[in-house]
Amino acid sequence: MTMVPAFHTDTDPEDLVYHDQAECPYGNEVKRNGNSKPGTAGRHLCGWCTSHR
């Protein structure tokens, strides 16, 4: 997997995660929607990114 700088979105408050894998489908959806913000914002790593390191 390809690690990228941590990013997250603040548009879905019930999903307090960040992503750091380029292939993450959830992270890619965030990027596709244009809601990507840099950093972890103190969130935990998303489940997909956790299991595809």
Q: Verify binding: residue 30, Zn ion, rule CB under 5 A.
A: no
Quick one: 9 or 19, whose CB is closer to Zn ion?
19
Q: Verify binding: residue 49, Zn ion, rule CB under 5 A.
A: yes
Backbone phi, psi, residue 46, to 5°: -60, 150
Q: Write out the DSSP string of 10-43.
A: SS-TT--EEEEETT-HHHHHHHHTT--EES-TTP
Q: Verify binding: residue 24, Zn ion, rule CB under 5 A.
A: yes
The helix/strand/coil state of 53 is coil
Q: Verify binding: residue 48, Zn ion, rule CB under 5 A.
A: yes
**Which residue ranges make up the site for Zn ion (CB under 5 A)?**
19, 24, 26-27, 46, 48-49
